[in-house]
Structure formats: structure tokens, C-alpha cells
Amino acid sequence: MPFVNWLKRNLVVLAGLLTLGYLLLPNVVVTVFSFNKPKGRFNYEWQQFSLDAWKDPCGVSGLCGSLSLSLQIALWATLGATLLGTLIAFALVRYRFRARGAVNSLIFLPMAMPEVVMAASLLTLFLNMGAQLGFWTILIAHIMFCLSFVVTAVKARVMSMDPRLEEAARDLYAGPFQTFVRVTLPIAAPGIAAGALLAFALSFDDFIITNFNAGSTVTFPMFVWGSAQRGTPVQINVIGTTMFVVAVLFVLVSMLAGNRRNRQKA
């Protein structure tokens, strides 16, 4: 039975590909339904092919506004979390000091906490302080929960760094600032970039924490949430498809660039 033998040998591959299909199925559905012309308010059933939504992605009131708000928040949150997180990561890897254990747990806890718990407790704080919910409270919350992920990403990279490279720079009479900018930073850069990318993705996609602390401000995930109740415009699928394609292209291009750089060095 050659077929049974083949099946036995490739069972893992088949199971893995099935899982990959499970992961990608919703993206396929989102893409296909971005070409739909729905009857009524909800875009859950296939009716008719149409390019209407692709021609006019901002045709729904509030959608592109929420998208640009989400982009702004994600950019500022990435900047803030990456800056604060990189400093913490360097302090944790490079120095021995008291309270190191406490700092490590404080970094770990936000990642081990269900989002809804953090969201609710932050709202309690804001209500007690009488803070106006909106852009600033969202930004504060996003920097808070992205911080730990940046620290983890940067820490991993700095830990694998050879401290002798910096010693060599100092031996060649580089000042502390010069050593940092010319040697330390370039080596840590991939870790910092990974942390920043993670922070951007997390912030841009966050719904639970934002929903609690946004007041009447509407980010893109909150717009999608609202539309699930009121009626989902096809434009949401257009945006979803675009995000997927842009992400794949971005990763492909950065990988190709990395490959070429490695080949040039070799």
C-alpha cells in the first residue's frame, strides 16, 4: 500500500497544512467578501460581485477617521513604549542593582494579566482622578501594556550581545556617547525594531483596553465592534484585506533586503 505509507510519512505535514488553512480561512473570507454587494446592512452572505467598496474605501462616515486616529495612537504608543522599554532593557541586562527582581516581576505581570482586568482597573484609576477619557487616556493605556513586550524583545537581543565589542570601542578611544551610537545601538537595533513592530501591532489592534478607556472616542477596532451591532459595511473588509496584503509585502521586502545584505557581506 504505497499510498498508506506515503500518508504515514507525511501525516505531520498534512496536519500542519490543515492548521495553516484554519489560520488563513478568515482572511480568505474577508478578502472574498470585500468584493460583495450586500443586501441590507450586514455583509455576512454572498450576493453579487462588485468593486464599489474598493473604489470608495472611505465611503462610510467615521471609518477613515477612526483609522487615522488608530494610526496616530499606534505611532505615539510605539514611540513611547520603545523609548521607555529600551532604557529598562539596557538597565536590566547591563547592571546589577537592588530591586532587580521586583523590576522583573513588574515587567512580567502585565503580560500575565487578562486584558479585561487591566482595562477595568485603569478605568477605576481614571474615574477616581476625574480624568477626561479620550485620546490621552488611550495613549497612556497603550504605552503601559506595550512596554513589557518591548522590554522582552530588546532584552533578548542585548543579552546575546558580546560586551567585548564595546570594550574594543573604548580601547580605540571612543567616548561613551560615541560607543553607544556607533557600536551599541546598531547591534541592538534589530531587537528594538522587533519590539517597536510588536508594540505597533498590539496598539493598533487593541480593542479590550481601548473599549474601557476611550470614552466616546472611536478607534478603528471600536468602529468594527460598533459595526458588528449596527451593520457591517463592505469597506471594513477592504481595509482588512489591505492590511493583510501590506503586512505580507512588508515582511517579504524586509526579508529580501536582509538576504541581500547578508549575501553582500559574505
Residues in 48-77 at the binding interface with other proteins, rule: CB under 8 A: none
79 contacts other proteins (rule: CB under 8 A)? no
Nearer Cβ to other proteins, position 151 or 192? 151
Q: What is the smallest separation between the CB atom of 177 and other proteins, expressed in angstroms?
A: 13
Tell me the window of 20-28, 47-55, 56-64, 177-185 that interacts with other proteins (CB under 8 A): 20-28
Which residue in the set 7, 51, 125, 257 belongs to the binding site for other proteins (CB under 8 A)?
Answer: 125
Please classify residue 195 by burial: count the beta carbons closer than 10 Å to its beta carbon, then call 0-12 exposed, 13-18 middle and 19+ buried. Answer: buried
Map residue 19 onto helix, strand or coil.
Answer: helix
115 binds other proteins (CB under 8 A): yes
**Shortest approach of other proteins to residue 209 CB, angstroms?**
11
Report the C-alpha gap between 240 and 53 in whole angstroms. Answer: 12
Q: What is the DSSP letter of 110?
A: G
Q: Which residue from 110, 151, 133 is spatially nearest to 210, judged by alpha carbons?
A: 133
**CA nearest neighbour of 152 among 210, 98, 112:** 112
Q: Site residues for other proteins, window 189-228 (CB under 8 A)?
A: 201, 204-205, 207-208, 211-212, 220-221, 224-225, 228
Helix (H) or strand (E) holding 112: none
172 binds other proteins (CB under 8 A): no
Integer Cα distance of 1 and 134 in angstroms: 66
Binding segment toward other proteins, per CB under 8 A, in 52-60, 71-79, 142-150, 177-185 = 142-150
Under the binding rule (CB under 8 A), the answer on residue 107 touching other proteins is yes
> How far is it, in rounded angstroms, from Cα 57 to Cα 2?
52
Asked if residue 17 binds other proteins (CB under 8 A), the reply is yes
